[in-house]
Structures are given as structure tokens and as C-alpha cells.
């Protein structure tokens, strides 16, 4: 998957990177390299901890040296792991609505995020203690979250402050409260700490050095996707598929550029892994990739321009598991280099819809991959044929899942597997006139019944989560309606007037309005119509 790909130059540079706070004491760091040689890169492997330097073992099959599973020479030790004791990316800060609650999920836990009257963020369990109705289906009244079933209102740390059905002389029961989750707003992203028992560990809150650099600018998008978060992350750390799957989607992806790649794993911990990669024929690995628990991936690079100025590039992927076979992704591509004058001519919504197209190009085969994993019920080692020249990160990720998967609701590891224990939640679109109108109201982000919840719909996957694109689509719809009305009026006047000159002027004006209607319709379609591959079109 790629929106823009700055990771193409053969120049090798080294990145002073920080994904989160310094690693906890007691973590064992292990460095693996096909042929370890003392170099500057070994500094990235130690990160202040003791390094255990070993040569990477050969693949399970060595007949032609092509298959790579990246097994370890020692038995993996599974420590205690609790998936709730992590920070998960909930939403882009700029897209959190001011006037409505936002229903979100992390694995199988449903939460509701909202801003109170003072603009402070709160995150509750998405369940009213009265009759279990979803609070995210409620509304905000004077900064308090109201359940629309019976009007119970909650504020602050989940305290119930109003029950309309309670007698005037009765006190609100102390148990009439909702569970709360800690949230943090960091670098433009809202993060949630999912544990209700353990206090938040701020040292685990991710921090991205490049995004804090002066002059760093990024384009951020949000996407809901119909496949498991592990399949999404696996896809995102797979640079080999970009030239094929996304051929001609942007200025860098071309199928004729598909080639063997070279990888070097320089860090392995129970918090993730990291390493360098690049084109095999260049003999260089200028790109630095880091995966951090539980679902953060970044691809970074430094490039020095002709004036000797170092520019920093980052592709950041923040993934949130949203249930069985579902995930939500925050994508952030940015750099310290000024964008080209040509790029400045395009509005932000254009880049966002192009990103939606990219995910649609992957959607078919990633959804089928999800189905096969659930059907076969075996670890990926028995299903995947991983290549040294393309799949190193994929094997590393599944091996990491072997270490921590036992502490997750479900996982598909390299050698282990844990199937979902909870049944998948089946969601339905609203039924009836009132429900349909509610779902298409501005508070819910829709603009008509054609945008009913459906993960196959580009509008539902992205636009309802993006304030900028939602505003753009509504503006184009308003301009389309206005220009259509003007065009009809001008044609009517042209019929009524008698002068040929006036008829020509009115009809020409009507034609210009019709062109405007077509342009607005095209812009709306770009944000609401799914991409179809040319060779698949019937």
C-alpha cells in the first residue's frame, strides 16, 4: 500500500528514531543479520540494552535459498502479555465531532468517545448501565452524554447526573455509572488505554520523532477495512506488492519495477522488531522499518538534498483492531521537505480519495486471505511460502505474534494460532424512515440513504470519518443542486425570450452550468464510488 513512496533513493542514511519512550528495563534485545559485521548500524540494534549477536539461521528449505521462514535457534519464551495494557489509536484529533458521540471498538470492546462542554475528551464503555443501550447512539446535552433510550445523562468520570424517571426526592444510585477509559491526545491522534485494572503506562504511549521536527507536514487519512488487523499490518509491511497491486496509482508504483528486495533485521524484542530494507541490486538498504506493539508501523528515510539539507520522510500506519475481520487504520505520510508546486494545486480530498482507491485495490485478496485463515485454522507457517527477497517483515511479524498472541483475544502466528472465542458482531444498517433519517444526519456523517453503513462503500469506509472530505462532498452536492436549478431556469428563459442573441447567451450559460454540474457529480463520485480494476470491468 502506498500513497506516495519516498523510499526509492539508493542513498543510505541513518535515522535517530524514537517510536515510544525508552524500552522497559529487563527486555532482551536480539540482533539477527545474515552476515553480521561491526558497523554503525549495530547501534540501532542495542538501543542502550545488551545485545545478543547471532547469525540468522537459514530457511526451513535451503534447496535454492529462496524460502525464508526466519525461525529462531532457541525456543521462544512466552511471557505474560495482556492486550489491554497497551495504547490503541482511536481517531485523528481533528476529526472528533464537537456535537455528537463517536462509537468505536478495540478488538471486541465497544467504547464511546466524546467532547464535553469544555472541549475535554472522555471515553466510556459504550453501554448504558440501565438497559445496555449504546451510548454512542445518544446525544450531547449541555456537554453531557445522554442515552436516547430513557434520557439518562453522564458526565466526567462516568457519573450519572440525571435520570428523568427518578422521583424528585430520590437520589441517583451510586451504581448508575459507566466504566471509563483513559485517553491521551498525542501528536494529533487520540489514544486509549484499554485496561480497566492497570493504571495507564505513559512510557508505552508512542512518540514519533519525525512528526515533531520543525517544518514537518503530513497528509493524514482514516479508513475502515473489512479484514483482520494482522492481515492489514502484514500488507502494510510488504513493499514487494506495491508495484503490482498499485500499478500507476501514484507517480512511483509501476509493475515493471517489481524486483527482489534486500532486508536486514537489526532488532527483535517482545515489543516488536526493526530493520533496514532496499532494492537488492543496489546493495543498499536506505529505508528503516519499525513495528511496535501492538499495532504501530512506520517506514522512515532521510535524504540529503543538493544544498546539504537533510530531509526526513515518514510513512506512519496506526492500526486498530475493530473486531473479527475488521480494522481501522490511520495513515500519515509526511516529510520536512516542501511539497512541489504541482501537488499544491490539488485539494486534500483528492489525495484522500486516491488513498481510498489504494485500499480498494488490496481489498479483494486481503479479504479472501482473511477467509482462508479462518477456514484452515492452522498457523501461517503451514500456509505461507515466504521468500527471502520479499517477505522478511511478514515472517517477522507472524513470529512476533507467536510471542504475544496468547495474550490477545485471537491471533494467527507463524507457529501458533488462537481462534476467536467470542462470536463476531453482526451489524445491520438502520431500517425504517426514522432510522434511515437518523443514520444520514450530519451528526452521523451521512448525506442520504445511499450512504448506509457498508464496508464495501468508500463513503462509509473513509468520508464519514474525515471532516475535510465530508465537508467537501456536502459542498459539491450543494453546488450541484444550485447549478442544476440555474441551468433549468436559464433553459426556461431561453425558450421564453424572442431575441436570438439572448437565446444564445442563455443557452451558453446553461451549458456552462451543466459542465459545472458534471464536475461536481464527478467529484462526489470520486469520494463515494468504489474503484474497479480495468481488467475486471465487465
230, 124: one domain: no
225, 265: one domain: yes
Contact 297, 233 (CB under 8 A): yes
Q: How many domains does the chain have?
A: 3
Answer yes or no: is pLDDT of 332 > 70: yes
Confidence of residue 26 (pLDDT cuts 50, 70, 90): very low
pLDDT of residue 536: 61
**Which of these ranges, 20-29, 328-337, 487-496, 515-524, has the smallest mean pLDDT?**
20-29
pLDDT of residue 172: 92
Q: Is residue 504 situated within a structural domain?
A: yes
230, 353: one domain: yes
Q: Is residue 76 situated within a structural domain?
A: no
**Which of these ranges, 89-98, 129-138, 395-404, 520-529, has the smallest mean pLDDT?**
520-529
400, 475: one domain: no
pLDDT of residue 22: 35
pTM attached to this predicted model:
0.81
Answer yes or no: is pLDDT of 49 > 70: no
Give the mean model confidence (pLDDT) for residues 436-464: 58
380, 485: one domain: no
Q: Is residue 17 situated within a structural domain?
A: no
Distance between CA atoms of residues 347 and 413, nearest Å: 41
Answer yes or no: is pLDDT of 488 > 80: yes
222, 306: one domain: yes
Confidence of residue 223 (pLDDT cuts 50, 70, 90): very high
User: In this structure, what C-alpha cell is assigned to residue 148?
Assistant: 436516547
267, 171: one domain: no
276, 408: one domain: yes
Q: Is residue 52 situated within a structural domain?
A: no
178, 231: one domain: no
Q: Is residue 54 situated within a structural domain?
A: no
pLDDT of residue 21: 38
For 396: left if phi > 0, alpha if psi spans -120 to 50, otherwise beta; the answer is alpha
Q: Is residue 71 situated within a structural domain?
A: no
Q: Is residue 423 situated within a structural domain?
A: no
How many CB atoms are closer than 10 A to CB 223? 22
187, 212: one domain: no
Distance between CA atoms of residues 134 and 111, nearest Å: 9
**Residue 499 structural domain:** 431-442+452-526
Q: Say if residue 174 is preceded by a cis peptide, omega within 30 of 0.
A: no
pLDDT of residue 68: 52
DSSP H or E segment with residue 468: helix 467-496
**Average pLDDT of the chain, as a whole number:** 80
Q: Given 161, 191, 221, which residue is the final one in a domain?
A: 191
Give the mean model confidence (pLDDT) for residues 186-205: 95
Dihedral of alpha carbons 118, 120, 121, 122, sign? negative
184, 211: one domain: no
158, 285: one domain: no
How many CB atoms are closer than 10 A to CB 167? 7
CATH at residue 149? 2.102.10.10
Is 505 exposed, middle or buried, given 0-12, 13-18 or 19+ CB atoms closer than 10 A?
middle
Q: Is residue 56 situated within a structural domain?
A: no
Distance between CA atoms of residues 98 and 139, nearest Å: 11
How many CB atoms are closer than 10 A to CB 368? 11
Answer yes or no: is pLDDT of 276 > 80: yes
Q: Given 134, 158, 191, which residue is the final one in a domain?
A: 191
Ordered strands of the 272-279 beta sheet = 51-55, 29-33, 261-269, 272-279, 287-292, 296-304, 310-321, 327-335, 217-225
CATH at residue 302? 3.90.380.10
Amino acid at each position: 500500500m502506498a500513497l506516495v513512496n519516498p523510499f526509492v533513493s539508493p542513498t543510505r542514511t541513518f535515522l535517530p528514531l524514537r517510536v515510544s519512550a525508552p524500552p522497559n528495563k529487563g527486555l532482551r534485545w536480539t540482533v539477527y543479520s545474515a552476515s553480521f559485521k561491526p558497523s554503525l548500524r549495530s547501534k540501532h540494534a542495542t538501543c542502550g540494552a545488551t545485545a545478543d549477536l547471532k547469525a540468522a539461521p537459514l530457511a526451513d528449505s535451503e534447496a535454492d535459498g529462496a524460502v525464508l521462514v526466519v525461525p529462531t535457534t532457541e525456543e521462544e519464551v512466552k511471557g505474560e502479555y495482556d492486550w489491554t495494557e497497551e495504547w490503541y489509536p482511536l481517531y485523528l484529533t481533528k476529526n472528533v465531532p464537537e456535537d455528537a458521540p463517536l462509537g468505536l471498538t478495540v478488538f471486541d470492546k465497544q467504547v464511546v468517545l466524546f467532547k464535553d462542554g469544555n472541549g475535554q475528551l472522555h471515553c466510556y464503555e459504550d453501554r448504558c448501565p440501565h438497559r445496555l443501550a449504546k451510548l454512542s447512539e445518544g446525544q450531547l446535552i449541555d456537554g453531557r452524554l445522554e442515552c436516547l433510550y430513557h434520557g439518562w445523562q453522564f458526565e466526567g468520570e462516568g457519573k450519572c447526573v440525571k435520570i428523568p424517571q427518578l422521583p424528585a426526592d430520590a437520589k441517583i444510585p451510586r451504581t448508575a455509572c459507566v466504566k471509563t477509559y483513559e485517553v491521551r491526545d498525542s501528536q494529533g491522534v487520540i489514544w486509549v488505554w484499554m485496561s480497566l485494572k492497570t493504571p495507564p503506562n505513559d512510557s508505552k504511549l508512542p512518540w514519533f520523532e519525525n512528526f515533531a521536527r520543525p517544518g514537518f507536514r503530513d497528509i493524514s487519512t482514516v479508513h475502515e477495512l473489512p479484514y483482520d488487523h494482522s492481515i492489514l499490518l502484514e500488507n502494510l509491511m510488504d513493499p514487494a506488492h506495491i508495484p503490482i497491486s498499485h500499478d500507476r496509482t501514484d507517480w512511483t508504483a509501476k509493475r515493471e519495477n517489481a524486483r527482489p528486495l534486500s532486508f536486514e533485521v537489526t532488532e527483535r524484542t517482545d515489543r516488536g522488531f526493526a530493520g533496514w530494507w532496499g532494492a537488492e541490486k543496489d546493495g543498499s538498504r536506505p529505508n528503516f522499518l519499525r513495528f511496535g506493539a501492538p499495532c504501530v508501523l512506520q517506514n522512515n528515510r532521510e535524504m540529503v538534498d543538493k544544498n546539504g539539507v537533510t530531509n526526513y520522510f515518514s510513512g506512519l500506519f496506526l492500526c486498530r483492531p475493530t473486531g473479527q475481520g475488521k480494522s481501522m487504520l490511520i495513515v500519515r505520510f509526511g516529510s520536512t521537505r516542501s511539497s512541489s508546486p504541482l501537488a499544491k494545486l490539488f485539494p486534500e480530498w483528492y489525495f484522500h480519495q486516491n488513498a481510498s482507491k489504494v485500499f480498494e485495490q488490496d481489498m479483494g485478496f486481503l479479504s479472501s486471505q482473511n477467509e482462508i485463515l479462518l477456514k484452515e485454522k492452522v498457523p501461517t507457517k503451514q500456509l505461507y511460502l515466504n521468500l527471502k527477497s520479499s517477505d522478511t517483515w511478514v515472517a517477522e511479524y507472524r513470529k512476533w505474534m507467536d510471542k504475544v498472541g496468547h495474550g490477545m483475544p485471537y491471533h494467527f502466528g507463524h507457529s501458533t494460532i488462537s481462534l476467536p472465542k467470542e462470536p463476531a458482531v453482526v451489524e445491520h444498517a438502520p431500517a425504517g424512515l426514522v432510522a434511515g433519517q437518523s443514520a444520514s444526519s450530519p451528526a452521523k456523517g451521512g448525506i442520504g440513504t445511499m450512504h448506509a453503513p457498508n464496508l464495501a462503500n468508500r463513503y462509509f469506509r473513509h468520508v464519514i470519518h474525515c471532516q475535510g472530505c465530508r465537508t467537501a462532498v456536502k459542498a459539491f452536492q450543494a453546488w450541484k443542486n444550485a447549478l442544476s436549478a440555474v441551468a433549468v431556469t436559464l433553459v426556461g428563459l431561453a425558450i421564453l425570450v424572442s431575441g436570438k442573441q439572448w437565446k444564445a447567451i442563455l443557452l451558453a450559460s446553461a451549458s456552462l452550468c451543466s459542465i459545472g454540474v458534471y464536475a461536481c457529480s464527478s467529484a462526489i463520485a470520486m469520494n463515494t464510488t468504489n474503484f474497479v480494476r480495468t481488467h475486471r470491468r465487465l
